[in-house]
Every structure is written in C-alpha cells, then in structure tokens.
Chain A
Amino acid sequence: MNNQVKVNQIALILMLIVSGGKYMSLPQTLSQQVGRDAWLVTAILLAVDLVCLAMLVWAVKLNKSKLSFNQTLNHCVGKVVAKAILIVFAIFMAVRLATLYSGVYELFVATFGIRTNWIGFALPLAVLVCFGVSKGMQPLARTNQLLCVIVLISLVAILVLPARNANLSQLMPVGQSGAKKLLSVSLNNGFWFSDYVFLYFVLDAIKPSKRVFLPILGFFAIGATLTVFMYVLFTGLFGNMAQYTDLAMSKVSQFVVTSAVNGRIDWLFVTIWTLSVFIKILIFTFSLYKCLSYLFDAKCCKFSLPLGIAATSAILLPLLVTVNDLSQVVSSYLRYPFYAVQYLLPLTMPLMVSIANANTTTKEANRVKQK
C-alpha cells in the first residue's frame, strides 16, 4: 500500500472533490432555508473552509518529522482525547459517505429514470471502493490526476451551456435573508462542507515541496469558484422554484440540450461528472479506513476489518433508514463535536504539529546522546 502523494496531487483532489457531491440534494436544502441566497451560504462556508485549509497546509509544512495525525494527537492531547477525536471523525466520515452513496444513487435514478435495485447499485461501488482503498492513497491521487481533465470538461460544459438560459436577476436582491439568517443557516449546514478533512490522514504522506500554499489554496479556490457558480446558476435557472427542485445536477444539465432531436448528450456529461463523486467516496473511505486503523491501532494495512465494516455499512445503512434524515439527526446532535474537528482542530493544527515535532526532535536528540 503506497500512500505517498505530491502537493500537486492533493491540490487536484481538493479541486475535484469540493464540487463533487455538492450538486445533488444540497442546493435544494439550502434554497429551502435561505431562498435565493443559497449561493451566499455556500460562498461563506467555502471561505471558512479556505481559512481552515490554509491552517492545515501550514501544519503540513511544519510537519518536518513526518508525524501522522494520530502521533500528533497523542503527543499533544494524550491518548484518550485522541481516541475521542478519532471517534468523532469516524462518525463524521461514515455519515458523509452514506450521504454520498445515497446521493449518487438518487442522481442516477433521477437522471436516467431507471430505478435500480439499491444493493445492485451499491455493491459494485463498494467493491470498487474497497479495491481502490486497498491500493493506497498514491493510486487514488494518480487516478484523480488522470481523470480530472475530463471531469472538469464535463463540469464546465454542464455549467456553461445552460448559462444562456439563466436569469441572474433572480439572485437579486443579494443578501435579502439578512446577515443573521445567513450565518445561522451557514452554521447549520457546515456538515456538508470541510472536504479538506482527508488531509489529516495524509499528513505524514505528503512529499516535501517548496511550494505548498499556492497550489493547494489555488486549486481549492478554483473548485470553490465552480461550486459557487453552480449555485448561482441553479438559482438563476429555477428562481423561486429552486426550493422545490431536487437533485440540482440532474435538473440543471437538462439545459445543455438544445433540441430534442439531438439526443440527451447531457447524460454523458453527468455520467462523467459522477466520477468526481466516486473519487470523493474513494478519498473519504480511505480517510475513514485510516481513522479506524488509528483508532484500533491496526498494524496490518493491506485490507482489513475496518474497511469491510465501512463498506458493508455503506450498503446496508440506506436499507434501514433514510440517509438524509439520518444525516440531519446525526449532524444536529453531533453538530458541535463535528464543528470541533471540522473548524477548531484545523486552526490549532499548526501549533499541535509544532509541539509534536519539537517533542520528537528532543527525544531523538536524547536517544543519540545516550548512544
């Protein structure tokens, strides 16, 4: 299992997964809460993400001793608190994964009008995900690197071609909901953001590079801009009807078609775009797997019980409960612990990494002296 990744690969992953998965049921959810200002909430949350990401990148740069997230936590907060943080992460990842699985299923059903059997849909995906994760982070990053061009082309086609039908006046007046409402909605929906959290689990695997901030933050900004544009387009196309329009990608992509006789070329674009959701699922499953490995101190990395549990749960969970309801319940009860790991932890990471690295260096020096 090779987990070594380059800074550029991380940047490309961020660019793709920021937009991947945010164009399914979330636009409708936000529109129901703030109407035409859904894009503003997205922009606010992505701006917060950018700040947190910058702190995490700083932590990566400071991590000279190549300490893992688990080692850093153990050094700074002790084993018990570290385990508690990892448990919160594991729940966060698992719920995000379940929402991605069910979201992409709903997207396929809504777009192609074929209601496939859930197990028949999820099982092949889970097998693929297990296969991908068992190969390690490096093949995942390389796969993303190879596919990001065609995914971006499809995404841009889906965003640019319908733009001629969008009525941007439907976004006016901007900020009608008021700052307080915008902030409270942002606070309630933070769960769907913070895609950078996978960085915690590759903290020790990023190859040193002179330029770290510019590529990572730059590519994240591109992904964020595309995401905000998606929401702008969604509101511009559907206006007040946006709150009743589910699965935004499926509905917006219909505007790509100019004439019925030309065929539904948009379906091909949507299919290719879903690769970004699959990549996001792969990256999050890898993070969940690493998280569970840290949690159970698993030494064997090839494939494992935690991954098996994660995959099986991803398949079975939607059979037992409605995933969106579950995610709302979980995020309302665990909102504050989630925010702690999503937003508070990144802000403290540079300090924690510095302390952990200093401790390690001192211990190494003492060991050399004793020898």
Chain B
Amino acid sequence: MTNFTNNYFTQLQSRCGDDDDFRVRTLNLGTTVKVVSLDSMCDDNKVVEYVVKPLLAMGQQCTPQQVLQATFATQVVPCVNFDDVVTNYLAGYTLVFADGADQCVAIDTFVATGRTVTEPPTSAVMRGPREGFVESVKTNLMLIRKRLRTDKLKTTTLTVGKYTNTMVVVCHLDGVAAQHLVDKVIQSISAINIDGILDSSYLSQYLDKQHTYLFQRVGSTEKPDVAVAKLLEGRIAVVVDGSPMVLTLPYLFIEDLQSPGDYYENNEVTSLGRILRFVSALISVLLPAVYVCLQKYNYQIIPLKFLITILNATEAIPFSPLTEMLLVIIIFDILREANLRMPSAVGMSLSLVGAIVLGDAAVKAGLLGAPAVMVGALSGIGLYTMPKNTLVFSILRLGVTLVGGLMGLYGVVLAMLAIVLYLTSLQSYSAPFLAPYAPRIQHDKQDAVFQDDLATFNQRPHSFSNVNRTRRRK
C-alpha cells in the first residue's frame, strides 16, 4: 500500500481496531484492497451488494483507480484526509482502501432502520396531511423537499457535539428568508461547543439568545407541512438528526394559538376556534386567581344567587379559599405529571381514577368545595388549548393565584401588568414577540386571533425580516 492508504488505514486500525464492531476484509485484486466497515452501523447486504460483489467481479487485474470506482452505490464520498475517514466510518459508510491510490472512498452502506413516517402524536389534525417527522434527518429533509420542489430551498449542514457529531441542517428559502437571519442562526449553531446533543430541544436553548426563562422563542413542529409553511413565510427551519421535532425561527407568541389544522378549515370556523383558545388560555391563568380574590376579599362583585350557591358549597371547608385553590391546582398538576409519565395503558385509568375518585372524595369529605374543583379543572383543561406553553401557563396560574389570594384584585392587575410588560420586552430574532398586537402590525392581523380568507394572503408576514414580501400576485 502507498503511504496514504497505509497511513490512514493503520491510524484507523490503531484507533478503532480494539472495537469488536471494527470489520476488515482484505481482497487481492491485483492490488491489495481493504474493505473496512463498522458492523453495527452498516447493512451487511449493502456491504456485499454495493462493495464486495462489484470488487470481486472485476477480476484479478485492476488498477487502484478502477477499484475505487467499482461500486453500485449512489452515495460515494472520496476521503482526502483522516478526519473524513473517521467521520464516514462512524457514519456507517464502508471504506475502500486500495494499494497505490491517493485517496480512499466511503460508500454509503448505513443500516436504514428507524420509525416509519406516521401521524405525529402531538399534532393530530381532522383535515390535512398526516405525515410527521421521524428521527432520521434524511427522511425529514425528504419530507420537506417533496413539498418544496424548488432549487431555492437551500440547506446548510453542520455538525454539533464533540462525541455525538450530530448532523444539523439549516434550511431556508433563498430569496425569501432574510440572509442575515440565516447567517445568525448558522453562526449560533457553529458556536456551540458541547459534548453532545440528543434532540433539537438542546439546540433551542442555544438559539434563544435572550435566554427566556418562561416563554420559548424557538418554534418546533412535528409536521412537514407546518415546517414548509414557515419556510414559505421566510422563516428558517433547523432539522436535527435523531429528533422528530424541527425547529423554526423566528417564533412569535401568536403561533401557539395557530393549529396545523387551521389552514385546512373555513376561516370563520378557524377564527372561532382561535378565539376559544385565546379565551381558554386567559381563563386558565386568571380564573383561579379571580375566584380566590372574589371569595376572599371582593365577594360583592358576585351576583347574589351565585354567591349563595358558592357560600353553601364552601361553608364547611376547613381551608381558606387560597389554600383550597392551591390544593386543587397542585393536585391537578400532580395528576398531569403522573399521567404523562405513566405507560399509556395505565395512564388513562390513572387520570380517570384521579379525577373521579380524588375530586369526588375530596368534595364529599368536605375537604374541598365543588366550585373550587370545578374552577381548577376548567382552568387545568384550558391550559391545553395552547399546547406549547402548557407548563408556562401552569406556573403563571400558580403565581397569579398566589398573588390574588394575598393582595386581591389589585394583585391580579399588577401580576397581569408584569406579565404583559415582560412579554412586550421579548424579541425573537429581532421580531417583537407579541406582534402583530404589540406593536400593532395591521397586515399580520390577517392570521392572528382572527384569520382572513387564505385567498387574501397576498404578502408574507411583516412582523419579522424577510426579503420578498409578495406571496401572490393579484
């Protein structure tokens, strides 16, 4: 073997040879050929069909260059340095070293296992595509590309993680997304110095430059149609190998109100659904607090008949309204957490047992009042109307209830003002987080709480930077 192949083969053998997965097959085809593969990452059939069989078919009189070209695989990568050799070896490529050649080749023999494309569990829709992203970056890119058949879809591949070497692909539509945003995202990802990332959520921490403590400012989706819709708006998508969640940037608060199914329904129905979601989110955060402070301080606000009903239901309760409500909220949160972590077969029965037995028993035992259980349950269910911020709203609910219980309506108003102040101060890649309402961006209100007819969406959103605003020529 020449120095090149000899050196790199020897180096590779010394680094990985003690690993039981390291496989070498030596062939004598007039020139010495070494076929190296990582057993657990390579498909044996592919190694035989794409590499070994073509080599053996060449006979005994081959030049090194002929050896390197003898493959049936489509994905053949020349390795010109040792880093390429190691990277491709670890990625499930079979390496062919030929004596006398000035390089070796890596042939894609990666074992293709993993989940098939199915409907994502977190974003089920009544109408519209049911495909969901999977853990393979290639499949995910395929799902995007098959919807965006244009050469304007550009991808930039990066590797993150010292040990995991995770492939991260930044996608954008050239001529639509703002280049400075794309550069900023690539720069942020390139700057990550970490031992490994296992999911896209690792990256979102690094992409959120302001380090928001509560509200996330990096979107994520499991649906290719949603990711493509975002790309068409001029946003950027980040696909991470091993994660079925594709990140989208910039991300605005209003996006949590938008469901994937909204765009496949009548716009009036969608608007109604969004109003319901918005009101539910408000109820889930404010209702327990308002209930506590009305019961504790300002019961005069409650209409008389309603007040009598509440008084009858709560007169024997041994706790103060605040303690009672906090208990209900905490019990609900415990049930939610347990339900998430239980095996699905047990989870359903556990939530039913929790809701019926605990709630009913607590009311019957006179520990909790029925109105408090009802308010807590209504507010708890309301949290799920904005699924990405469920936990945030749950924390806010607890905080606002506590403040309301201690300071009355004054405290609730102050808490709401503090939340609004905080939200208005946030930005996601220079886009105001509460756009299009604060600041008011008239154009983007067409797809906010109310949705206009899709046929009138002539321009891309104005809330964030994009290059080409025109979406549809009149």
Contact = CB atoms under 8 A, between A and B. Distances in A.
A and B associate? yes
Contacts of A124: 407, 411, 414
A264 B440 contact: no
Best-buried of A9, A128, A140, A265 by chain B (most CB within 10 Å): A128
Interface stretch (A53-61, A180-188, A268-276): A268-276
B300 A142 contact: no
A256 B90 CA distance: 75
B126 interface: no
Nearest to A135: B425
Contacts of A262: 303-304
Interface string A133-156: 001101110110111000000000
Interface size class, chain A: 35 or more
A303 interface: no
A267 B414 contact: no
B413 A275 contact: yes
Interface in A338-370: none
B418 A263 contact: no
A148 to B, nearest CB: 10
B300 A264 contact: yes
Given A114-B297, A136-B425, A128 B440 contact: no
A132 interface: yes
Contacts of A272: 413
Interface in B295-312: 297-298, 300-307
B139 to A, nearest CB: 41
Given A112-B298, A267-B409, A146 B417 contact: no
Contact of A278 (B301, B307, B413, B438): B413
Contacts of A2: 425
A271 B409 contact: yes
B420 interface: yes
A9 B439 contact: yes
A121 B410 contact: yes
B410 A108 contact: yes
Contact of A263 (B297, B304, B414, B424): B304
Interface in B426-442: 432, 434, 437-440
B421 interface: yes
A274 B413 CA distance: 9
A146 B425 contact: no
A160 to B, nearest CB: 20
A321 interface: no
B321 interface: no
Given A112-B297, A146-B434, A8 B440 contact: yes
A118 interface: no
B132 interface: no
A128 B418 contact: yes
Contacts of B412: 271
Nearest to B437: A146
A146 B424 contact: yes
A267 B425 contact: no
B298 A145 contact: no
Given A121-B410, A131-B418, A143-B424, A263 B300 contact: yes
B411 A139 contact: no
30 contacts: A6-B439, A112-B297, A116-B407, A120-B407, A124-B411, A124-B414, A128-B414, A128-B418, A135-B421, A135-B425, A142-B432, A142-B438, A143-B417, A143-B420, A143-B424, A146-B424, A146-B434, A146-B437, A147-B417, A260-B304, A261-B304, A263-B303, A263-B304, A267-B298, A267-B300, A267-B409, A268-B409, A272-B413, A275-B417, A278-B417
Interface of B: 297-298, 300-307, 407-414, 417-418, 420-422, 424-425, 432, 434, 437-440
Top-3 shortest CB links A-B: A142-B438, A142-B424, A139-B425
